[in-house]
Chains A and B, each alone.
Chain A
Amino acid sequence: MSVTDQKPQPKRPSSFWSYANPVKFLAFSERVLPALWVLSAICLGVGLVWGFFFTPDDFRQGSTVKIIYLHVPSALMAINAWFMMLVASLIWIIRRHHVSALAAKAAAPVGVVMTLIALVTGAIWGQPMWGTWWAWDPRLTSFLILFLFYLGYIALWEAIDDPDTAADLTSVLCLVGSAFAVLSRYAVNFWNQGLHQGASLSLDKEENVADVFYFPLLVAIAGFVLLFVALVLYRTGTEIRIRRTRALQAREART
């Protein structure tokens, strides 16, 4: 049986939702992926080289400040990845587009690596600055909790065999988890103040970065965003191919 003689596709290329068709999504992602890889490589290269080698040392922090070019973008993407998973989960629950569920699945490991990078670079940065690898600062703690949420989400995907059941359950978990992640953020803020009488360690550098640091940082952030998009598209494509293989095998077995 040939694969091509399927029901005709609705001719609405202008609609965003037409990309919910896996075949169409694959064709689209294959077209844009090379450009995305190149662009993200350029942005990352320019941003990081510029940031590492062509910015002055900070008068207080010395050269350690330059880890900001890894730390801030990865932290940003760690949160945005979860947000993207939330949106994708909602789309799956409401419109039942398989690509959406698979995109959420594909984004989770990327998100967890971003969280890990943010935590590790934070520790490396924190060591010379505060004299400790780890402090229970609200931001650090929130990221650790986010890391746990990612682990739970991925573990639930892995634990369930039926892909649609897994998609449903992980979507519910993502929704509930998001509410609790926000709640935890506020709880942690409260808790830390309660313990330390005013946070003396703040990671909030964005307000006081000078322009020399700011522009390469923007480029690096753009690079991380592009890298994230490329990775998620690529991984979603892989997930789609896995499901496609499964579907073909199921059809083989039944004929």
Chain B
Amino acid sequence: MKALLLRDLALALRAGGGFGLGLAFFLIVTVLVPFGVGPQSELLSRIAPGILWLGALLACLLSLDRLLALDWEDGSLDLLATSPLPLEAALMIKAVAHWITTGLPLVLAAPLLGVLLNLPAPGFLWLVVSLAVGTPALSVIGCFGAALTVGVKRGGLLLSLLVLPLYVPTLIFGAEVARRGAVGMDVQTPLLMLAGITMGVIALMPFASAAALRVNLR
């Protein structure tokens, strides 16, 4: 299992774009927002938590179609499916690798982008916490979408259509934590809900993903 994680990380590093692309997209979205809504700092600081969450979510979505497609094309998925490693575990590890290469950099970069959007000072901590708790769910749910669409040519758009509605609860609670944190309200309820979703998704989603992938492999 460690071998698969290390391989995916090494591939993401060497093939380039693994770390950089999502991050660059996140930066661009954040920079473009003020051009769209105007530079008033009080407006920006009010919408900053939501924009940052939305940007992170879209950046995460951007790399999902590569999550399984490359392994599908070169036959690695066939070989993994016949290996002693359960497919559920293999998919979970691929989701973890996706989070480390995409989600984690977003979490770390979010405070810097928060400065650009004039995020209020108490909001930084909760923004980082909410993203750290919520983005793993994005990767795991995205892995399910990738498993569903791996056999479809040009499945990228379909993948977005399938995955985005599944992202709604995570987005709602995640952005709510960040927003409440920014205005100094109690964050406990949405934070617990967000953590609950992430844990539930981690526990159950790999089974659905593996079921979908097995159908696609046969």
Chain A interface residues toward B at CB < 8 A: 145, 148-149, 151-152, 155-156, 159-160, 165, 168-169, 172-173, 175-177, 180, 183-184, 186-188, 190-191, 194
Residue contact A159 to B169, C-beta cutoff 8 Å? no
A187-B168 in contact given A168-B215, A169-B148 (Cβ < 8 Å): yes
Which applies to chain B's interface (DSSP): helix, strand, loop or mixed? helix
CB-based contact A173/B148 at 8 Å: yes
* Residues of B contacting A155 in the complex (Cβ-Cβ under 8 angstroms): 158, 161-162
- Which residue of the partner chain, among A148, A159, A160, A173, contacts B164 with CB atoms under 8 Å? A148
| B interface residues, how many (CB within 8 angstroms) | 29
B168 touches A184 (CB 8 A): yes
Q: How far is the CA of A236 from the CA of B41 in the complex (A)?
A: 56
In contact, A177 and B215 (Cβ under 8 angstroms)? no
> How far does the Cβ of B100 sit from chain A's closest Cβ, in whole Å?
24
4 closest Cβ pairs, A-B complex: A187-B169, A148-B165, A168-B215, A187-B172
For A168, the chain B residues whose CB sits under 8 A away are 212, 215
Residues of B within 8 A of A180 (CB): 165-166, 168-169
Shortest distance in angstroms between A161's beta carbon and chain B's nearest beta carbon? Answer: 9
Of A165, A184, A187, A191, which contacts B216 at CB under 8 A?
A: A165
CA distance A173 to B161 in the complex (A): 12
B190 proximal to A (CB < 8 A): yes
Inter-chain contacts of A169 with B (CB < 8 A)? 148, 212, 215-216
Q: Which of A152, A159, A175 contacts B165 (CB 8 A)?
A: A152
Contact: A183 with B208, CB < 8 Å?
A: no
Given A173-B148, A187-B173, A149-B215 contact (CB < 8 Å): no
A40 → chain B closest CB, angstroms: 31
